[in-house]
Amino acid sequence: MTSPHVIELTDQNFEEEIVTAKGVAMVDFWAEWCMPCKMLAPTIEDLAKEYAGRVKVGKLDTDAARDTAMKFGISAIPTVFLFKDGKVVKKLIGLQTKKVFTEAIDELLAG
């Protein structure tokens, strides 16, 4: 996963990058072995490009960052959380369409 628009999140940087950050953030909880996660990856990348400068987008590998995944109760992947000012405001579980994400993000940015 190398992208200038998507932050690689870990147990070490999650707090700083997401929890204490101001504004809207989207976190994709995923794993390398998860086929639906791989199918969702291009959508996450597209959203990161489209909302660059307005929404912080990160991906957290649940195998590599188990503590954070457990803290947020991740039991199925892919799971995408939307945060506003460090607080979880929306959870989207499973493979979703881009439209579902854009509607949720636009609603947060407007509110």
Number of H helices, E strands in the chain: 4, 5
* Residue length of the chain: 111
The alpha helices in 1-111, defined as continuous H runs, are 14, 35-50, 66-71, 98-110
Active site residues: 34, 37
